[in-house]
Amino acid sequence: MILLTVKEFENFSLLIQNPKRVFTYEVLIDLVWKEDYSYYSRKAVNNHISNLRRKIKVALDVQDM
């Protein structure tokens, strides 16, 4: 089991439901954060996606043991 924040889960759900689609920062901010694009928002997307990748990697590494 992977424990995710609400935003990590919303990002993950969006990405997993659209496996062949590439999302820009602007689209992720619009669909997940539902706010106007700004530098702070772009940094928030980076942080949440980075945390999500890390958590998935850790979970996969644990399952391989």
For the stretch 4-61, pLDDT in tens is 999 999 999 999 999 999 999 999 999 998 887 777 788 999 999 999 999 999 998 8
Whether the predicted pLDDT of 63 surpasses 90: no
Cβ 35 vs Cβ 44: under 8 Å: no
pLDDT given for residue 31 in this prediction: 92
For 16, residues 6+ apart whose C-beta sits below 8 A from its C-beta are none
Whether the predicted pLDDT of 64 surpasses 70: no
Cβ 5 vs Cβ 42: under 8 Å: no
Name which of 61, 56, 58 is nearest 16 in CA terms.
56
More confident residue, 24 or 62: 24
Task: Outline where 1-65 has alpha helix (H).
Answer: 6-17, 25-28, 39-64
